[in-house]
Amino acid sequence: MRAGLYILYPISLDDFEPLSPQVLSFHSIRATSQKLVSPSMRVPNATNNPNKVQLTRITHVYFDHPNLEAFTEFAEAWGFVEARRVGDTIYYRGYGRDQYVYVATKATTKAFRGAAFVAANKAEFDKAAKLPGATVSDLMNAPGGGQLVSFAPETNLYFHVIYGQTDREEPKEPPTATHDFQGPYNSALDKERKGRFQRYHEGPAMVHKLGHYGVICENFDSAIKWYTENFNFVYSDVLYSPDDEGTDIIAFMRLDRGKKFVDHHCVFLARQEKPGTGTYVHHTSYEIEDFDTQLLGHDWLRKKGYRSAWGVGRHILASQIFDYWRDTSGFKIEHYADGDVLNNTHKTGRDVAGAMAIWGPELPKDFMIDHSMLDD
């Protein structure tokens, strides 16, 4: 299998029409690699049904940081807002409805402790609590309260379901730490902003919400099965190895909400290509308002001396304008803007892994590794 990742042109097999060079190349790969096809290495079908636990959105992640003080400074420069501090735990929020999007705890060892998703109702929460390996806890000290079901289905792959947390009131206008005035964008042919000036100042990119996370999985096949058999995750796009059409290597999953449009993915799982090198979070990703916010936030982090991991650029799948950094423990963390939203009319795309960006800096060779294992 080829090193690195991968990602490509969004072609739906369901809508297959041999019109573009990409489609033709897909055809030729298929024709020449039949003997390599091994169906067991493909992701299983994932269709939602009422027996599965229904989740409505991703809400927050948990991380352990040995140097919580250093992370606190980074979090401020990142655009998080401290919502509450309880002992050695800090709850950070964005400006969306979630009470917090990131929970940082001081610990001796750095660790990703999983993401939390909101159960559609109490019955769905109770259903999650009955799944094998579930433990239930009360969130009496956390902003908004509620209850949490937690799983550790495999080493370093944690997962949580929350219910009963009160929502924050969403702002009418996005708060900003950088925009003095931003009117309409004056395009070449349409100058809607007349006699007014775009004005900005330096500052962090304020975070709206947690958008997604990605995990490189040693046990990719069982992890995919666990997500899709127990919950309403469906595939937006699946990519297979350039060396073997029968080996799927990454699945971008969204929550099936029927006709309601949701983010292209709230989680991706990728196959660990080097067995024995472990399961680890690749990055967590947070939505910000727009392109100017993205670039101003990038400059702010650069001037503060933090380490860029990749960006600014625009992804092909999901279309996001992305900007990846390394936090003070080495975990990769992303700002994104302008992502795609899909509903149940979308047919899963399946294609060969390829370029990850339509524009942006060259992909760093170390982008897929676990930097938290290197940084101290």
Q: Which residues bind Fe ion (CB under 5 A)?
A: 285, 334
Give SS3 for 333: strand
What does 117-186 look like in DSSP terms, one character per residue? EEESSHHHHHHHHTSTT-EEEE-TTSTT--EEEEEEEETTEEEEEEESPPPPPPPSS---SSEEE-----
Query: 354 vs 6, 193, 249, 358, CA distance in Å?
Result: 4, 39, 11, 11
Q: Which helix (H) or strand (E) holds 309?
A: strand 307-315
Q: If you count them, how many residues does the chain have?
A: 376
Whose CA is closest to 281, among 354, 213, 189? Answer: 213
Q: How far is the CB of 252 from Fe ion (least distance, A)?
A: 10
Shorter beta-carbon distance to Fe ion: residue 248 or 334: 334
In the numeric block, the tokens 């962090």 are attached to: 204
What does 169-193 look like in DSSP terms, one character per residue? PPPSS---SSEEE------SS----
d(CA 347, CA 336): 24
Q: How far is the CB of 285 from Fe ion (least distance, A)?
A: 4
Shorter beta-carbon distance to Fe ion: residue 127 or 332: 332
Phi, psi for 252 (deg, rounded to 5): -95, 120
Q: How far is the CB of 282 from Fe ion (least distance, A)?
A: 8
Q: How far is the CB of 89 from Fe ion (least distance, A)?
A: 25
Q: Which helix (H) or strand (E) holds 269?
A: strand 267-271
d(CA 317, CA 149): 31
d(CA 239, CA 236): 10
Shorter beta-carbon distance to Fe ion: residue 232 or 285: 285
Shorter beta-carbon distance to Fe ion: residue 213 or 231: 213
Shorter beta-carbon distance to Fe ion: residue 124 or 334: 334
Q: How far is the CB of 213 from Fe ion (least distance, A)?
A: 8
Q: Cβ-closest residue to Fe ion?
A: 285
Q: How far is the CB of 78 from Fe ion (least distance, A)?
A: 15
Shorter beta-carbon distance to Fe ion: residue 334 or 351: 334
Shorter beta-carbon distance to Fe ion: residue 25 or 319: 319
Q: Which helix (H) or strand (E) holds 294?
A: helix 291-303
Q: How far is the CB of 214 from Fe ion (least distance, A)?
A: 6
Shorter beta-carbon distance to Fe ion: residue 65 or 315: 315
Q: Count Cβ atoms below 10 Å from residue 9 Cβ, excluding itself.
A: 18
